[in-house]
């Protein structure tokens, strides 16, 4: 119990709320690593490329990037992939940030994303990630989309649906995916 409490010391409120609401989630420390050929907004492919180089050493990890609190605009939670280095026993993120993205993120592991997306990919040969979430000031999670041409702090296109269950399949169904 003490280890979990220490992990919360430097955690964002949205991180704590996510971990408390969704079983199996936990925060990890991740460093950014510049690797040639990696592209912003392509985390699944970037992590897969790194893992393909040495799959015994580099394991793809899935979870959430928990962004800054933008007050009335809430805190974004973005599904994301990064790498666990089994030799160094540490995590790194090969995906470069967009130039205009100057916020800091907490990384929260959620293996349900990896397994659910993988199951859908095998069945349909289509890569579909769960939708991003936003934790609003009312303490509730919502499925949302944001204007891809703007930094997250500029606001959201729409906040679609209040989320009662953070099950990945349920989130994907809200976003119109037949899974």
**Secondary structure, 3-state, 59-78:** EEEEEEEECCCCHHHCEEEE
- Report pTM: 0.86
Tell me the per-residue pLDDT of 146-174, one tens digit each, with 9 for 90 and over.
555 555 445 555 566 888 889 999 888 88
The runs of H, that is alpha helices, within 22-161 are 43-53, 111-124
Tell me the per-residue pLDDT of 87-98, one tens digit each, with 9 for 90 and over.
999 999 999 988
Tell me the per-residue pLDDT of 99-114, one tens digit each, with 9 for 90 and over.
778 889 999 999 999 9
């Amino acid at each position: 119990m003490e280890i979990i409490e220490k992990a919360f010391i430097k955690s964002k409120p949205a991180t704590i709320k996510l971990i408390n609401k969704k079983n199996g989630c936990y925060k990890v420390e991740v460093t950014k690593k510049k690797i040639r050929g990696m592209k912003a907004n392509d985390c699944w492919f970037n992590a897969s490329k790194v893992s393909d180089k040495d799959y015994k050493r580099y394991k793809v990890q899935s979870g959430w990037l928990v962004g800054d609190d933008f007050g009335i605009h809430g805190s974004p939670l973005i599904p994301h992939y990064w790498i666990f280095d089994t030799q160094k026993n540490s995590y790194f993120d090969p995906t470069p940030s967009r130039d205009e993205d100057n916020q800091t993120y907490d990384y929260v592991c959620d293996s349900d994303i990896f397994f659910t997306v993988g199951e859908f990919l095998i069945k349909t040969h289509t890569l579909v990630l769960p939708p991003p979430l936003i934790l609003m000031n009312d303490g509730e999670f919502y499925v949302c989309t944001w204007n891809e041409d703007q930094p997250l702090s500029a606001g959201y296109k729409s906040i679609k649906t209040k989320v009662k269950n953070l099950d990945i399949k349920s989130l994907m169904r809200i976003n119109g995916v037949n899974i």
